[in-house]
Amino acid sequence: MLETTAPPIAAPDLTDLAMRQVDNVIRERLSSRVALIDQISRYIIGAGGKRIRPRLVLLFSEALGFDGPERLELAAVVEFIHTATLLHDDVVDESALRRGRPTANAMFGNAASVLVGDFLYSRAFQMMVSVNHMRVLDVLADATNVIAEGEVLQLMNMHDPDLSVADYLKVIRFKTAKLFEASARLGAVLAGASAEVEEACAGYGRALGTAFQIVDDLLDYEGDSLELGKNVGDDLREGKPTLPLLLAMERASTSERALMRRAIEQGEEKGLSDILAIVRRTGALDATREAARLETDHACGLLQALPDSRARRALLELSVRAVHRSS
Ligand code: GRG
């Protein structure tokens, strides 16, 4: 395992500077002749967000010695794709709160939200074409297709109390980890890395993204709505079986399991606080965080394929933060 401690003298944070440049690219490329598009896209992107996926593009580019402007454009591309999926997802889930604000669907309606998601998604394709690199198109076309498959798979799994952990993991590898994987891989592709190094970068992204979604699902049970910027307990209300619930069901008594099965099948508010107590008492939350930690351990091991650098240390720290985050 690689050390995660910071060097004694901090190197200048090139990524922060580059992230500001990415924010400028994002602002410029958001522009549209259509006022409502401008308004909604700035509403959602202006609400912030952690910008993890663009950071992956930048850190892997830096770690492999690539500093061309294409990395800024592609960092903005992955944030646009991410934002398009959020707009669509909040409509599908009928969510009311995102990034501490009313969702775009709550503010502007479902139709406008879906359509502006389409705008961001297609703008992302205009931008990636401008980079003029076939492998980049290949990586992103594949990633977006898999994300959509993951979302449909998840829809098929709703209200299924017999969902296996393996099936749950498949959905999150598709819907979330795939974009992390693509972001990491793009840094390697831009830098012209060997196939072996590219696979290590992609593997890091996949494992980090998996850990990230596991923690996302954990926070839906143990988080604080205010800190999280979205409503806690939504997954159970929707009848979406996620890892905390699946692990709690394995550990609960027969009658408790029956209660949880009913909640997944019917997706209702009733029984929420009882189920929360069961999830806590069975240790399912700790086991869920441990599952995320195992993923990031794997991710960190893969970084041995990269030479030691400030960027590699930042990637190690990113994986630690992904597991211990509270928002
Ligand atoms: C438009 C390609 C396309 C597909 C539509 C709806 C859908 C299909 C996919 C949704 C996938 C999805 C929302 C996965 C969840 C990903 C996730 C963990 C989101 C939260 O990411 P954060 O915490 O968000 O990085 P911030 O707000 O920090 O940017």
pLDDT above 90 coverage of the chain, percent:
85
pLDDT, average across residues 195-217: 98
Burial of 193 (0-12, 13-18, 19+ CB in 10 A): buried
pLDDT, average across residues 208-229: 90
Q: Which atom of ligand 1 is nearest to the CA of 87?
A: 6
Q: How far is the CA of 228 from the centre of ligand 1 (A)?
A: 15
**Mutational test site, ligand 1, from 175, 183, 218, 230, max ligand atoms within 8 Å of CB:** 175
Q: Which atom of ligand 1 is nearest to the CA of 79?
A: 29
Angle at 257 between CA 256 and CA 259, to 5 degrees: 65
Is 102 strand, coil or helix?
A: strand
pLDDT value, residue 8: 39
pLDDT value, residue 1: 43
The answer, yes or no, to whether residue 48 has pLDDT greater than 50, is: yes
Q: Which two tokens stand for residue 306?
A: 């990269």
**Mutational test site, ligand 1, from 56, 113, 176, max ligand atoms within 8 Å of CB:** 176
**Mutational test site, ligand 1, from 57, 83, 89, 240, max ligand atoms within 8 Å of CB:** 89
Burial of 156 (0-12, 13-18, 19+ CB in 10 A): exposed
CB 285 within 8 Å of CB 220: no
The answer, yes or no, to whether residue 11 has pLDDT greater than 80, is: no
Report the CATH architecture of 16-324: Orthogonal Bundle (1.10)
Burial of 243 (0-12, 13-18, 19+ CB in 10 A): buried
Ligand 1, atom 6, lies closest to the CA of 89
pLDDT value, residue 144: 98
Ligand 1, atom 15, lies closest to the CA of 176
Q: Which atom of ligand 1 is nearest to the CA of 213?
A: 18
Q: How far is the CA of 175 from the centre of ligand 1 (A)?
A: 7
pLDDT value, residue 14: 66
Mean pLDDT of the chain: 93
The answer, yes or no, to whether residue 239 has pLDDT greater than 60, is: yes
Q: How far is the CA of 86 from the centre of ligand 1 (A)?
A: 5
Q: Which atom of ligand 1 is nearest to the CA of 50?
A: 28
CB 99 within 8 Å of CB 47: yes
Residues 21-47 pLDDT 10s: 999 999 999 999 999 999 999 999 988
Residue 232: which pLDDT band, with cuts at 50, 70 and 90?
confident
Lining residues, ligand 1, CB within 6 Å: 49-50, 52, 84-86, 88-89, 92, 99, 117, 121, 144, 147-148, 151, 175-176, 213, 216
Residue 204: which pLDDT band, with cuts at 50, 70 and 90?
very high
Q: How far is the CA of 88 from the centre of ligand 1 (A)?
A: 9
pLDDT, average across residues 172-183: 98
The answer, yes or no, to whether residue 223 has pLDDT greater than 90, is: no
pLDDT value, residue 13: 66
Please tell me the least confidently modeled range out of 49-63, 160-174, 220-234, 277-291. Answer: 220-234
Q: Pick the more confident residue, 89 or 232.
A: 89
pLDDT value, residue 3: 43
Q: How far apart are CA 168 and CA 166, in angstroms?
A: 5
Element holding 60 (H helix, E strand): helix 52-63
pLDDT value, residue 228: 79
Query: Would the pTM count as exceeding 0.85?
Result: yes
Q: How far is the CA of 84 from the centre of ligand 1 (A)?
A: 8
Q: Hey, where are the domains in the chain?
A: 16-324
pLDDT above 70 coverage of the chain, percent:
96
Q: How far is the CA of 213 from the centre of ligand 1 (A)?
A: 10
Q: How far is the CA of 89 from the centre of ligand 1 (A)?
A: 7
Length, in residues, of the chain: 327
pLDDT value, residue 312: 97
Q: Which residue has the tokens 């993204």?
A: 209
